[in-house]
Amino acid sequence: MQDNLSELRNLASRAENRRTETGIPRVAMVQGAIPEHELSAVYDPMVNLILTGSKTMTVGERTFHYDPATYFVMSVDLPAVGSVHPSLEGAPYLAVSLTLEPGIVAGLLADLPKPTGGELYNSGFSVAPVTDDLLDAWVRMLRLMDRPGDIAALAPVYERELLYRVLQGPHGWMLRDIAAPSTALSRIASAIRWIRQNFALPMRVEALAEMAALSVSAFHRHFKAVTALSPLQYQKRIRLLHARTQLIAGEGNATSIAFGVGYESAAQFSREYARFFGQPPSKDLLRKSRRTVGLGI
């Protein structure tokens, strides 16, 4: 395991202090001390592996900590806040990620035996110990950065292997559920996508429950299990995260941005913003930052 980790660290050490594309589809990396606001983001579904240092992620009321002995799977779009930390020896935080594509997962599942048993869990995110087989697949994937001519032919093969190794682990049920349209997780995911794309619009929970083919009470229960948030809390988090992105990028003042993300009261926006981020929107409005909010890795 240590040999694989060492090689992965060397391969990913070319990453910058922001989300860095590798040239391999859906694979990215990052290193360094990431500003706090860049970790307040809507995270896309992904498999995230820490190579050096550690990371703390909070979704709703749940907080997870993971380090080079663990990997993180997020199966739906989730608003999260977090922090990264260097290793005990002072080496900078370093991580790689694979964005999940449900169609690819579904194609892989079609070639595998049907699992026995029912759905064991409902959460849309979790942490698990990394395995040698998973690390080995990551090594071969990142080696492609130095052989770009091989990416088109080999990256899809290595991606399937990575997903296969995750399917074999404790998160396997999660990948199966996002690729199967009949599961509660995939139906909740469709409602989540609607909220994320239409966060500034008024939201009717009854309409979302109908979209997910669930009763209102069952929809609330499953939504909270998957996201650790109620539908209304989820929408508010999405609105606040989009507002922070716009404030730091200097795309307007607090009032115009508040109305733009769907708030009807600038005062309510300021209260909820300060409660969530620990400071009023005026503080973020004054920041000077590159447009790198929402690293999601």
Residue 31: the pLDDT is: 92
- Write down the pLDDT at residue 287: 67
Q: With a cut of 50, which residues of the chain have pLDDT below it? A: 117-121, 288-294
Residue 143 pLDDT: 98
pLDDT of residue 115: 60
DSSP string, 94-160: EEEEEE--HHHHHHHHHTSPPPPS------SEEEEE--HHHHHHHHHHHHGGG-GGGHHHHHHHHHH
What is the predicted pLDDT for the residue at 9? 95
| Predicted pLDDT at 288 | 47
Question: What pLDDT score was predicted for residue 116?
Answer: 52
User: Which of 108, 161, 99, 87 minimizes the C-alpha distance to 131?
Assistant: 161
